[in-house]
């Protein structure tokens, strides 16, 4: 059915600090694509955009940050993608809102995309579209691009004051976007005093690194971390870019220390040098960038250095999905396998821990097929449990826990994989066919969108359509298990996860497949 579309010379136009922008209205939703929120010279801190006269169109998504490697089209059923033109001049954000009245003061939800700190974009996944979340949740949704990989996270501080925070330039872009939100979002119907940052995978890591970033204090008020913890992922043995940067300069034919050359060399050449050199340096234990590092800007991992006073005041909703790594082929017809067949598969993977693991799995997931144990995640779940414990000690703000355990109608029943909860959170299962299960998926996306939005609005995800969901205590993790039937469980999988972690092969850091 035809929808209402408005985009005239006079409507909808919103005044930002730097100038006016025009978006469009689709049905009830005011939509703005590609608003520039900052400018930046390569490796340097972002600055405010120059003011302009007249009205700028915000009708096309902006450039996304260049990536180190060429995209490959695959896995589109599980995670449908949007590829987009790339340029390092990529500080753009997008807004979906139900009002452009400054009186509206609706909750603001700022999405931080995944892809580690080196890939992805605000529109990388089809599921990131903000229209449904804004419409069904009556919130202002903001999504944004920022600098990534060697453009956003490469320490050049030993080479000069202007590069002081180049190691965290990508996160600094996000802070600039949050400042833009503070200064402008009221004009888009949003409440600058009620901003929730939320993100998945690398986006979840951005949430907790920003909690520990003093310049972001007060720019956001709640955080949602989806599959955003991996032990060791943000750890670098040293934090000094001298080695990798000089190696790149050398590879590119420049003199050691002549970093200004890096400011103008084409990105592709710099990326090629980085890709060639970084694996060896990483093996030697050197810093190779592409992650934030501790400095004046970023205080460090809250699980090791402790939560900042500000971070303690941030209500957190945090969780992961049951089988983060279930990207490979599913197990054909798993519901018709014999118990013996399944036992054999499990023994092949887990050896002597198999029996105990199987028993613990059945206790944690009594309604699941035992074959899902073959894909079970502990790499995200283990540090998530740890984070919850450590955050829950601080009673300044609540911590809510979830697990996404939905089974998808794909490959004869595929357990939830990394990124698979995102279409439900954004109420976008209409755009991601694999989510669809008549009579089931509509209800689940209503519940999840509802919980996320209520958390953003009130700091509490409870809603009538879900069982009562208490906040966590340090010794009592109350976890909402999202599935065909949602229920709250207490410390329900801790034994399973600890044993699983110990019985599993060590996680290969840097494996592309998990860093979305």
273, 254 contact by CB (below 8 A)? no
- In the complex, the smallest distance separating the C-beta of residue 329 from a copy of itself, rounded to whole angstroms, is 8
Judged by beta carbon, residue 31 or residue 401, the one nearer a copy of itself is 31
Judged by beta carbon, residue 24 or residue 153, the one nearer a copy of itself is 24
Among 438, 464, 505, 508, binds a copy of itself (CB under 8 A): 438
- In the complex, the smallest distance separating the C-beta of residue 76 from a copy of itself, rounded to whole angstroms, is 4
Judged by beta carbon, residue 237 or residue 329, the one nearer a copy of itself is 329
Residue 85 near a copy of itself by CB under 8 A: yes
The rounded distance, in Å, linking the Cα atoms of 176 and 173 is 5
The rounded distance, in Å, linking the Cα atoms of 83 and 80 is 10
Residue 450 near a copy of itself by CB under 8 A: no
The rounded distance, in Å, linking the Cα atoms of 207 and 316 is 10
- In the complex, the smallest distance separating the C-beta of residue 510 from a copy of itself, rounded to whole angstroms, is 21
User: Long-range contacts: 247-255, Cβ < 8 Å, 24+?
Assistant: 247/273, 247/277, 247/281, 248/273, 248/274, 248/277, 251/276, 251/277
The rounded distance, in Å, linking the Cα atoms of 445 and 55 is 37
46, 39 contact by CB (below 8 A)? yes
Span of 61-69, 274-282, 341-349, 388-396 interacting with a copy of itself by CB under 8 A: 61-69
- In the complex, the smallest distance separating the C-beta of residue 389 from a copy of itself, rounded to whole angstroms, is 37
Cβ within 8 Å of residue 461, ≥6 positions away: 317, 400, 451, 452, 454, 455, 469, 480
Judged by beta carbon, residue 24 or residue 198, the one nearer a copy of itself is 24
Cβ within 8 Å of residue 271, ≥6 positions away: 66, 68, 149, 150
Residue 468 near a copy of itself by CB under 8 A: no
Residue 274's φ and ψ, nearest 5 degrees, are: -60, -45
Span of 82-90, 219-227, 416-424, 489-497 interacting with a copy of itself by CB under 8 A: 82-90
201: buried, middle or exposed (CB in 10 Å: 19+, 13-18, 0-12)? buried
Span of 66-74, 165-173, 238-246, 466-474 interacting with a copy of itself by CB under 8 A: 66-74
Residue 275 near a copy of itself by CB under 8 A: no
Residue 74 near a copy of itself by CB under 8 A: yes
Judged by beta carbon, residue 438 or residue 505, the one nearer a copy of itself is 438
> Can you point out the beta strands (E) in 147-269?
190-200, 222-226
Residue 63 near a copy of itself by CB under 8 A: yes
Judged by beta carbon, residue 434 or residue 466, the one nearer a copy of itself is 434
H-type helices in 108-216, by residue range?
A: 131-137, 149-152, 169-184, 202-211
Residue 56 near a copy of itself by CB under 8 A: no
Judged by beta carbon, residue 435 or residue 486, the one nearer a copy of itself is 435
Residue 341 near a copy of itself by CB under 8 A: no
- Asked about 201 being catalytic, the answer comes back as yes
Judged by beta carbon, residue 76 or residue 309, the one nearer a copy of itself is 76
Nearest residue to 407 (alpha-carbon basis) of 368, 456, 371, 354: 368
Among 258, 333, 359, 396, binds a copy of itself (CB under 8 A): 333
Left if phi > 0, otherwise alpha if psi is -120 to 50, otherwise beta: which for 306? left
Judged by CB under 8 A, how many residues of this single chain contact a copy of itself? 50
**Strands of the sheet with 140-144, listed across from one edge:** 5-6, 24-26, 29-36, 92-97, 140-144, 106-112, 190-200, 222-226, 316-321, 399-404, 478-482, 487-490
Residue 62 near a copy of itself by CB under 8 A: yes
Among 412, 446, 473, 484, binds a copy of itself (CB under 8 A): 412
The rounded distance, in Å, linking the Cα atoms of 213 and 172 is 9
- In the complex, the smallest distance separating the C-beta of residue 515 from a copy of itself, rounded to whole angstroms, is 18
DSSP three-state, residue 39: strand
Residue 510 near a copy of itself by CB under 8 A: no
Residues near a copy of itself (CB under 8 A): 1-10, 24, 26, 33-34, 59-63, 70-77, 82-85, 330, 332-333, 409-412, 429-430, 433-442
Q: Name the residues annotated as catalytic.
A: 201
């Amino acid at each position: 059915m035809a929808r209402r579309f408005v985009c005239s010379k006079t409507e909808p136009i919103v005044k930002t600090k730097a100038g006016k922008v025009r978006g469009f209205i689709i049905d009830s939703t005011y939509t703005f694509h590609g608003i520039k929120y900052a400018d930046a010279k390569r490796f340097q801190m972002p600055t405010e955009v120059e003011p302009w006269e007249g009205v700028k169109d915000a009708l096309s998504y902006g450039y996304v940050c260049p990536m180190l490697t060429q995209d490959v089209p695959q896995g589109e059923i599980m995670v449908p993608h949007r590829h987009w033109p790339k340029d390092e001049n990529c500080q753009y954000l997008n807004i979906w809102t139900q009002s452009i009245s400054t009186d509206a003061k609706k909750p603001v939800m700022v999405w931080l995309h995944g892809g580690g700190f080196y890939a992805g974009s605000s529109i990388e996944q089809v599921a990131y579209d903000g229209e449904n979340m804004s419409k069904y949740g009556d919130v202002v949704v903001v999504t944004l691009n920022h600098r990534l990989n060697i453009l956003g996270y490469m320490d050049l501080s030993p080479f000069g004051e202007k590069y002081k925070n180049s190691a965290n330039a990508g996160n600094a872009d996000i802070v600039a976007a949050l400042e833009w939100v503070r200064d402008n979002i009221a004009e888009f119907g949003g409440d600058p005093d009620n901003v929730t940052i939320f993100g998945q995978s690398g986006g979840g890591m951005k949430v907790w690194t920003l909690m520990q970033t003093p310049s972001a204090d007060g720019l956001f008020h709640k955080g949602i971390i989806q599959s955003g913890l991996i032990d060791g992922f943000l750890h670098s043995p040293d934090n000094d870019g001298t080695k990798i940067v000089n190696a790149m300069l050398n590879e590119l034919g420049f003199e050691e220390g002549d970093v200004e050359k890096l400011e103008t060399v084409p990105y592709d050449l710099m990326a090629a040098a980085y890709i060639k050199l970084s694996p060896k340096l990483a093996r030697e234990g050197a810093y190779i960038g592409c992650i934030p590092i501790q400095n004046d800007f970023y205080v460090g991992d809250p699980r090791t250095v402790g939560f900042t006073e500000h971070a303690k005041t941030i209500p957190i909703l945090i969780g992961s999905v049951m089988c983060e790594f279930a990207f490979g082929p599913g197990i054909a017809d798993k519901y018709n396998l014999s118990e013996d067949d399944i036992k054999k598969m499990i023994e092949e993977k887990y050896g002597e821990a198999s029996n105990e693991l199987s028993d613990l799995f059945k206790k944690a997931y009594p309604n699941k097929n035992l074959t899902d144990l073959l894909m079970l995640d502990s790499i995200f779940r283990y540090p998530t449990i740890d984070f919850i414990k450590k955050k829950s000690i601080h009673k300044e703000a609540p911590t809510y826990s979830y697990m996404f355990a939905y089974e998808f109608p794909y490959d004869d029943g595929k357990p939830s994989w990394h990124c698979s909860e995102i279409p439900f959170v954004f109420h976008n299962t209409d755009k991601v066919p694999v989510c669809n299960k008549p009579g089931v998926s509509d209800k689940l996306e209503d519940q999840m969108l509802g919980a996320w939005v209520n958390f953003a609005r009130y700091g509490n995800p409870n809603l009538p359509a879900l069982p009562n969901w208490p906040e966590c205590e340090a010794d009592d993790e109350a976890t909402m298990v999202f599935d065909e039937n949602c229920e709250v469980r207490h410390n329900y999988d801790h034994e399973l996860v600890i044993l699983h972690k110990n019985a599993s092969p060590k996680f290969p850091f840097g494996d592309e497949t998990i860093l979305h």
